[in-house]
Structure 1
Amino acid sequence: MKLSTPRYTFCLISQLTFMLCDLIFNCVSLFPKSRDGLLVLFIFQDLFLILSITTMLMTFFTTYLFQAGLVEVLIRKFRAAGSVIMAYVAASIILHAVWLLEKWGDPESVSTPMLIVLFTLQRCLSPWYYFFYKRAALRVSDPRFYEDIDWINQQLQSH
C-alpha cells in the first residue's frame, strides 16, 4: 500500500509507537513492587492508550468519507476494530483500578480471584487489540479514504 503524503506516514508511525509503548508497559507492569512505581506505570500506559485512540480518531476525522458525512461507511469498515479497542481500553482501566485498590494498602498481599480474572482478560485481549489496532491504522492510511471518489461511490452502492 502506498501512502500518499508524509502526514499519513507520521500518523502511522506514531500509532505504532503508542502500540509498542503499551506492549512494553504490559510486560513491565509485573515487576514493580512499590505502589508508587505501579501507579506511574499505569498512568503512562493509560496515557498512551488515550493518545493512540486520539490519533486513530484524528485520522478518521481527516478522511474524505468523514468530511462528506459518510460516517456509516467508516463505521462499517472499522466496527470490529473499534469494538476490540474499546473492550481492551475498558479492561485495562478496570484492571488498573482494581489492582491499585487491592495492592495499595499491602503490596505483598495475595491477589484475589477477581484480580486474576481481570488480569487474564486484559492479557488475552491485548493480542487482539494489537492486531486490530495495527490493521485499522494501516487501512485508514489507504489513500482511497482521502481522494478516490469512484471507490467511495462503489462502497456506498454495495450497502
Structure 2
Amino acid sequence: MNITQLSKISFLNSIQDLCILFVYITQLSSISILYSIQDVCILFAVIVVFLLFFNTYIFQAGLVNILIEKFKVAIGITFIYFGLNVGLHVWEMTLRWDEPNLYIWGTPGFIPLFVIQRTGAVLYYYFKTFIQKTSTRCNF
C-alpha cells in the first residue's frame, strides 16, 4: 500500500463523519455501501498478504512458523481492526437507520469504541506500511 492509497483511505475515513451530517433516508444506503466497500477492501488486503506469503521461499520450504512469528503482530492488528471497523459500522448504521439526524455521540459506549477504532486504524496503516517495507527481505 503506497502513500496515495493510504491518503485516499484516510480521506474516506475522515469524510464519512462529514457525510453523516447531510444524511437522509435515501443517502443511508450509500453510506452503508461505502462502509461495506471499506470492509471488503480490508478483507482483500488480508487475502493478498496471505497470497504473498504462499509465494515465498520460506513458506514453500515448509518454514511457516518463521512467517507467522515475523508477521503475527501485523496480522493480528489487521483482524482486530477489521472487527472494530465492522462493529462500529454496524452499530452506527443501526443507530441512524430509523432516525438519520439522531445525535449518536451521547450513546453510552459509542465514543470509546470510536476512539479505539480510530487508534486501531493508525496501528493498522502503520503495520501495513511495515509489511510493505519489509517485503523485500521476505522475497515477496
State the TM-score, normalized to the length of structure 2: 0.83
Partner of 1:74: 67
2: distance between equivalents of 1:90 and 1:131?
17
Partner of 2:30: 37
SS in 1 for 2:109: helix
CA contact (8 A) 1:18 1:51 kept: no
**Residue identity in the other structure for 1:105:** D
Which of 23, 31, 36 is the aligned partner of 2:10? Answer: 23
**Residue identity in the other structure for 1:132:** F
Deviation at 1:73, TM superposition (A): 0.2
Partner of 2:91: 98
Partner of 2:48: 55
Partner of 1:152: none
- Structure 2 unaligned regions, length at least 5: none
**Residue identity in the other structure for 1:82:** I
Which of 121, 127, 130 is the aligned partner of 1:126? Answer: 121
Deviates more, 1:56-65 or 1:109-118: 109-118
2: distance between equivalents of 1:70 and 1:125?
30
Give the 3 Å change call, closer, same or farther, for CA 54–19 of structure 1 in structure 2: farther
**Residue identity in the other structure for 2:77:** V
Identity rate, percent: 28
- Structure 1 unaligned regions, length at least 5: 1-14, 148-159
1: distance between equivalents of 2:9 and 2:108?
24
SS in 2 for 1:106: coil
Pairing 1:1-16 to 2, within 5 Å after superposition: 15-16=1-2
SS in 1 for 2:17: coil
The count of aligned residue pairs is 131
Partner of 1:65: 58
Deviation at 1:18, TM superposition (A): 5.3
What is the RMSD of the two structures over their aligned residues, measured on CA atoms?
1.9
Deviation at 1:19, TM superposition (A): 4.1
Q: Does 1:107 align with 2:100?
A: yes
2: distance between equivalents of 1:115 and 1:51?
27
Give the 3 Å change call, closer, same or farther, for CA 50–130 of structure 1 in structure 2: same
